[in-house]
Amino acid sequence: MKTERNAKQVEFDSVGRRKWVAAFDGEHISSDGGLALLHRTDQRFGLMKKFAECFKDMRKPELIEHTVEELVRQRVFGIACGYEDLVDHATLRNDPLLAAVVGKAEPQKQSLASPSTLNRLELTPEDATAEARYRKVVYDGPAIENFFVDAFLDAHRQPLKEVVLDLDATDDPIHGTQEGRFFHGYYGNYCYLPLYIFAGDFLLCAKLRTSDADAAAGSLEQVQRIVSRLRERWPTTRILLRADSGFARDELMTWCEHNGVDFVFGLAKNTRLEAMIRGDLMLVQAVSRQERKGAPVRAYRELCYRTLDSWTRQRRVVAKAEWLEDKFNPRFVVTSLRPEQFGARALYEQLYCARGDMENRIKEQQLGLFADRTSAHTLRANQLRLWFASVAYVLLNLLRHFGLKGTEMERAQAGTLQLKLLKVAAIVRVSVRRVALSLSAAAPVRELFARVAEQLREVPTPS
């Protein structure tokens, strides 16, 4: 893995009496020393090995230079370190540290996969056979979907008493005339409409969908699958669904009621609901300006409500009557929880509003891990791109939970982790016995880096 010997020098203004020049001619240097921490995180949970098992490799073993596990490691570790595009791997394939964590036996001599080789993972059709010329590695969609749930379960040594599943949909802008291209009126552009399901900050589902369907489309099937897998391992754990009004569908609520799953969903306001709390709205508006002191005024009311024709039964609805200085702001949630379990105010302010943190997790994926970089032509290829970003998120989230626990970066987002922890330059020296990294003695994260490595070392490996 030689770099170009005659790299062109770049000249800068002099530093005192000295001429200042630079050239990209440093061999065996990586700009991502934090890959060592990601590698240790992966080893403690066997994440990449389990993910690679979700692919069927029909290539001839004697002709394989890069195994499936090496390919998915290269792709996921690259995204985790902030490399957005496959073309980045044209030069990353010569990074000795990336080669070491990917699993190359001679990381300073063996090049990693090229962009075109990595691209075959995404472009292989579902019906590919061993007779295909180039694309012979087929991913198993259901297996990958279950991989995320299993990663959540494996991260907890003991069953949780309660799991809150947050559901949400977001826009993923379309790049050109791609398969599944539809215009979404709410978002005002051509986009996909992926479905996300989180348990706290653990990702359980990232399902790419076209935007010509309801926001809740397919959510029941995903919830059924996740709940079934959770109960298989944790039969006594209480499960609660939480989502905005786009998911307040009778089919989903009825299934929850019949299967011992609680829910709290936003409920779109309408004239009937507003009429039921008109007295409360007038009351909060009447509070004097002096009493408000610039703050909104709220009142909560319990309602029994059923739609005219879309719901099969009457349900508990909590209404928030609010006056925002110059206008009414009524809000409603529908829930299976009883008043003695959660009073109206606590249900809305403490339980329902907490779902807003899920939106930060989605933004973290899209802004820091390029989950919206779905620019391939087919929906199948773009789904795999979304999953690659999602696996990178799972890896970084495990690093947060187990490596950064108790540190100032325990809640840092992916972009911050990349900038402050992963982007640490390292000289890589490989011998027969070891891979040695020389990191900058002046690095601000010097002590944190060592602490994270030690905390990860203490995490038990999977049995």
Q: What is the pLDDT of residue 288?
A: 54
Which position has the token pair 């809150």? 164
| Mean pLDDT over the full length of the chain | 92
For the chain, give the number of residues: 463
Question: In what order do the strands lie in the sheet containing 172-173?
Answer: 172-173, 189-192, 183-184
**DSSP letters spanning 105-133:** SSTTT-----HHHHHHHHH--TT--TT-S
Q: Identify the bridge partners of residue 426 per DSSP, sorted by sequence position.
A: 30, 439
Q: Residue 267: is its pLDDT beyond 80?
A: yes
Q: What is the pLDDT of residue 369?
A: 96
**DSSP letters spanning 179-198:** TT--EETTTTEEEE--EEEE
Q: What is the separation of C-alpha 104 from the centre of its chain, rounded to a whole number of angstroms?
A: 28
| Local structure of residue 210 (DSSP, 8 states) | B
CA separation for the pair 44, 398 (Å, rounded): 10
pLDDT digits (tens, 9 = 90+) for 347-359: 999 999 999 999 9
CA separation for the pair 61, 65 (Å, rounded): 9
pTM over 0.85: yes
Residue 256: exposure state from Cβ atoms within 10 A (0-12, 13-18, ≥19) = buried
Q: Residue 7: is its pLDDT beyond 80?
A: no
Q: Residue 95: is its pLDDT beyond 80?
A: yes
pLDDT digits (tens, 9 = 90+) for 184-217: 999 999 999 999 999 999 999 999 999 998 999 9
Q: Residue 4: is its pLDDT beyond 60?
A: no
Question: Which amino acid, residue 279?
Answer: G
Q: Identify the bridge partners of residue 183 per DSSP, sorted by sequence position.
A: 190
CA separation for the pair 353, 282 (Å, rounded): 24
Q: Which domains are seen in the chain, by residue range?
A: 24-138+378-457 (no CATH), 142-366 (3.90.350.10)
Asked if 347 and 275 touch (Cβ cutoff 8 Å), the reply is no
**Average pLDDT score over residue span 103-112:** 91
Q: What is the pLDDT of residue 293?
A: 64
**Average pLDDT score over residue span 126-147:** 94
Q: What angle do CA 344, 350, 355 make, to 5 degrees?
A: 115
**DSSP letters spanning 254-284:** HHHHHTT-EEEEEE---HHHHHHTHHHHHHH
Longest alpha-carbon distance in the chain: 84
441: left (phi over 0), alpha (psi -120 to 50) or beta: alpha
Q: What is the pLDDT of residue 6?
A: 57
CA separation for the pair 198, 246 (Å, rounded): 16
Asked if 36 and 107 touch (Cβ cutoff 8 Å), the reply is no
Q: What is the pLDDT of residue 322?
A: 85
Asked if 207 and 218 touch (Cβ cutoff 8 Å), the reply is yes
| Residue 221 CB contacts under 8 Å (≥ 6 apart), including other chains | none
Q: What is the pLDDT of residue 292?
A: 62
CA separation for the pair 277, 158 (Å, rounded): 44
CA separation for the pair 20, 3 (Å, rounded): 21
Q: What is the pLDDT of residue 328?
A: 84
CA separation for the pair 65, 271 (Å, rounded): 65
Q: Residue 394: is its pLDDT beyond 90?
A: yes
b or e along 362-397 (b: 16 or more beta carbons within 10 Å of the residue's beta carbon)?
A: bebbbebbbbbbbebeebbbbbbbbbbbbbbbbbbb
| Local structure of residue 245 (DSSP, 8 states) | G
Residue 180: both structure tokens together? 């599944």
Asked if 45 and 444 touch (Cβ cutoff 8 Å), the reply is no
Q: Residue 457: is its pLDDT beyond 80?
A: yes
Q: What is the pLDDT of residue 221?
A: 98
Alpha helices in 141-246 (DSSP H): 141-154, 219-233
Provide the percentage of residues in the chain whose pLDDT is more than 70.
96
Q: Residue 420: is its pLDDT beyond 70?
A: yes
Q: Residue 425: is its pLDDT beyond 70?
A: yes
Q: What is the 3-state secondary structure (H, E, C) of 355-415?
A: HHHHHHHHHHHHHHCCCCCCCCCCHHHHHHHHHHHHHHHHHHHHHHHHHCCCCCCCCCCHH
pLDDT digits (tens, 9 = 90+) for 273-292: 999 998 887 887 777 555 66
Q: Residue 134: is its pLDDT beyond 90?
A: no
Residue 286: both structure tokens together? 């009447």
Look at 340 and 328; give whichever has higher pLDDT.
340
Pairing of strands 189-192, 172-173: antiparallel
Q: What is the pLDDT of residue 22?
A: 81
Q: Measured in Å, how far apart are the chain's first and last C-alpha atoms?
A: 36
Q: What is the pLDDT of residue 291?
A: 61
Q: Residue 1: is its pLDDT beyond 80?
A: no
| Angle between the N-to-C axes of helices 379-398 and 35-45, in degrees from 0 to 180, rounded to the nearest 10 | 90
